[in-house]
């Protein structure tokens, strides 16, 4: 089978791997669609570790073959593959706190999901119905947005700020609107370019009432003028360096929730006294192990999120390099690129 790996900086190699039969509780999934994530772009652009890196973790497909201990599935069933699952036997799991599992299981270390087939354990495979493959592939980033919302606990009539108009930030804007927020501001960079203009339009479609370009010299003044009382909730899906300047816009007893990984700048500085006397909270969200897929499926099936506004480009596996170039381009009206194995 063909599998995609980063083998050098800005180099994707299609490697032939053995499609081994499943044993015991294993399942072989025929991959039908796989989204390109920011993490994939980081692997492609920076090649950390300087050894081959498997690509892909936003997967939908069909059951191809099951091992003797993998019950409840039939060949051809539509499924997604969870990229991280709890072990079920560590201290946290046995205390009913699987979200803080200390022995999380993943396939991502040695298997590419951007491949014709993917073999995983049965507990990583979830069947679904009523969604197209490209649509089901974005259930994974939707679960990330759901975890941000779980931490933020947005309440009706609150003003909310979402920093970062990528797919997760846009999903948070939509979920915030569904939660009954009064005003929703979305912050992004280079909003005057094709990529930014399209994301600004998508933000308004998702429910944002205002969009601000943080590269404009007066963006802080404009944000303060529009929202003089600040925000009860701030959801940060942009790099860590964006946390400090936006803390100033949190209202008294406000909550800032952050999800993201810095591959270059890891340190954040802010005024601790201001943070203390305003009684603010800064929370980290990290949706690993995966959770929330059943809710994500329901939201997509009920058309609470318009996936066609978020999946802007679909490329066949044979055009993988073009797909990555589009995902990274500021000149394309791009939000989410999905690689299809059906074309």
Site of tokens 């772009």: 41
Q: Which of 295, 313, 296, 7 has the alpha carbon at shortest distance from 142?
A: 296
Distance between CA 229 and CA 225 in Å, rounded?
9
Sheet strands (E) in the chain = 2-8, 11-16, 26-35, 53-54, 58-66, 78-81, 84-85, 105-106, 117-121, 125-127, 159-163, 183-188, 210-213, 231-236, 250-258, 281-284, 311-316, 336-340
pLDDT value of position 40: 94
- What are the structure tokens assigned to 166, written together? 């990528």
2-141+288-340 against 145-284: fold identical: no
Quote the pTM value: 0.95
For residue 109, how many other CB atoms are within 10 A of its CB?
7
Q: Where are the domains of the chain?
A: 2-141+288-340, 145-284
**Topology adopted by domain 145-284:** Rossmann fold (3.40.50)
Sheet holding 159-163, edge to edge: 210-213, 183-188, 159-163, 231-236, 250-258, 281-284
Q: What is the pLDDT along the chain (343 residues), one digit of tens a residue?
A: 999 999 999 999 999 999 999 999 999 999 999 999 999 999 999 998 889 999 999 999 999 999 999 999 999 999 999 999 999 999 999 999 998 899 999 999 999 999 999 999 999 999 999 999 999 999 999 999 999 999 999 999 999 999 999 999 999 999 999 999 999 999 999 999 999 999 999 999 999 999 999 999 999 999 999 999 999 999 999 999 999 999 999 999 999 999 977 777 778 999 999 999 999 999 999 989 988 999 999 999 999 998 999 999 999 999 999 999 999 998 999 999 999 998 5
Cβ within 8 Å of residue 325, ≥6 positions away: none
**Topology adopted by domain 2-141+288-340:** Quinone Oxidoreductase; Chain A, domain 1 (3.90.180)
First vs last C-alpha separation in the chain: 16
- DSSP secondary structure string, 188-216? ES-TTSHHHHHHHHHHHHHT-SEEEETTS
């Amino acid at each position: 089978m063909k599998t995609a790996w980063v083998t050098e900086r800005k180099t994707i190699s299609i490697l032939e791997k053995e499609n081994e039969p499943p044993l015991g509780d294993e399942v072989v999934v025929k991959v039908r669609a796989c989204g390109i994530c920011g993490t994939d772009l980081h692997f492609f652009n920076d090649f950390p570790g300087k050894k081959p890196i498997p690509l892909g973790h936003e997967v939908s497909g069909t059951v191809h073959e099951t091992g003797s201990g993998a019950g409840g599935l039939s060949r051809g069933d539509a499924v997604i593959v969870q990229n991280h699952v709890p072990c079920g036997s560590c201290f946290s799991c046995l205390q009913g706190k699987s979200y803080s599992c200390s022995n999380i299981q993943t396939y991502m270390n040695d298997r590419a999901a951007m491949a014709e087939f993917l073999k995983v354990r049965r507990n990583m495979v979830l069947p679904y119905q009523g969604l197209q493959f490209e649509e089901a592939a974005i259930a994974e980033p939707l679960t990330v947005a759901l975890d941000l919302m779980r931490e933020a606990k947005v309440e009706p009539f609150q003003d909310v700020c979402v920093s970062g108009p990528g797919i997760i930030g846009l999903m948070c804007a939509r979920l915030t609107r569904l939660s009954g927020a009064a005003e929703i501001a979305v912050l992004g960079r280079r909003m005057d370019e094709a990529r930014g203009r399209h994301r600004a339009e998508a933000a308004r479609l998702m429910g944002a009432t205002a969009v601000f370009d943080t590269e404009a010299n007066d963006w802080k003044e404009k944000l303060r003028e529009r929202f003089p009382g600040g925000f009860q909730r701030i959801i940060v899906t942009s790099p860590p360096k964006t946390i400090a300047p936006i803390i100033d816009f949190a209202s008294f007893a406000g909550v800032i929730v952050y999800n993201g990984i810095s591959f270059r700048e890891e340190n954040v500085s802010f005024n601790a006294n201001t943070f203390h006397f305003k009684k603010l909270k800064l929370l980290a969200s990290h949706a690993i192990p995966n959770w929330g897929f059943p809710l994500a499926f329901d939201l997509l099936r009920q058309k609470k999120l318009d996936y066609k506004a978020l999946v802007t480009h679909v490329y066949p596996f044979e055009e993988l390099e073009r797909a990555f170039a589009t995902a990274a381009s500021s000149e394309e009206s791009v939000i989410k690129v999905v690689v299809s194995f059906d074309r």
